[in-house]
Amino acid sequence: MLKKTLLIVFFIILGVFFTNTVACANPSLQEGLNAYNNKNYKEAYNIFSILSQEGNSQAQYILGSMYLDGIGVKKDYKKAYELFMQSAKQNNSFGEYALGYLYKHGLGVKKDLSKTLYWWEKSAKENNRDALYGLGFLYSMGQGVELNYKKSFEYWEKASYLGSNYAQYRLGLLYYEGNIEKNYVYAYAWIDVAKKFSTPDEEIYKLALHHLNIVKYKLTNNELLQAKELADKLYNQIKSNQ
């Protein structure tokens, strides 16, 4: 699986999801996010701790991520697990995804891919794009499940339209390698979309750029133009739905 710490996954989501949907409903949570973004981790920790004790599933999830990555507190996988479980029990898709991540990597719990599959499937039903990407990866590698590129394609396609640049990149590779259907125009387009949704300092940006330089030699000039136009269309469509 492409390397992404949960810190990166979590706080990209926090910036997009929570700011747009939670801030108005719970200003205190927004205060915690503001403190975190200003690197005032002690204040953020105090706010999220209070909200977690009150049963706020988002705060439990965020506080769990702080324990997971050792941000503002000493790294503690057991506490991260407890907080993620509390969040997941309230059907918080991010808490569910995080639990699956812990089980996949054996962090604070015994590694168990069947439990990873269970929690990621629950999260994916709520359209969590990271869970969808993760499930696609499991099926592409045959980890804990029977190898099935068709399922990988389905999960990655859904995650791609939700804005997952990792899924977009993987979808492009499926088209390039022909695991489902060999189509270099679609391969180039999806990899280009992944690049557009990334920043130059990200690993995925560099991987996408590398493969774009490979795929373009499989295309005629007209096909390359088609691929770039399709990439722009897909990017604008996904961006407008976020």
pLDDT digit string, tens, across residues 74-108:
999 999 999 999 999 999 999 999 999 999 999 99
Closest CA to 172 of 197, 202, 146, 147: 197
H or E stretch including 94? helix 93-105
Q: Do 79 and 179 fall into the same domain?
A: no
Instruction: Determine if the pTM surpasses 0.85.
Output: yes
**138 domain residue, yes or no:** no
Residue 13 shares a structural domain with residue 96: yes
Percent of the chain with pLDDT over 70: 89
pLDDT tier, 197 (very low <50, low <70, confident <90, very high otherwise): very high
Domain presence at residue 2: yes
Same structural domain, 117 and 3: yes
| Averaged pLDDT for residues 182-206 | 97
Contact between residue 88 and residue 77 where contact means Cβ atoms under 8 Å apart:
no
168 and 195 Cβ atoms separated by less than 8 Å: no
* 5 and 104 both lie in a single domain: yes
The pLDDT of 177-194, averaged and rounded, is: 96
pLDDT of residue 140 exceeding 70: yes
φ, ψ dihedrals at 4, nearest 5°: -145, 120
Residues 118 and 166 in one domain: no
Domain count, the chain: 2
Q: Is residue 140 part of a domain?
A: no
Of the candidates 163, 108, 176, the residue with the CA atom closest to the CA atom of residue 130 = 163
Residue 50 forms part of a structural domain: yes
- Domain of 48? 1-124
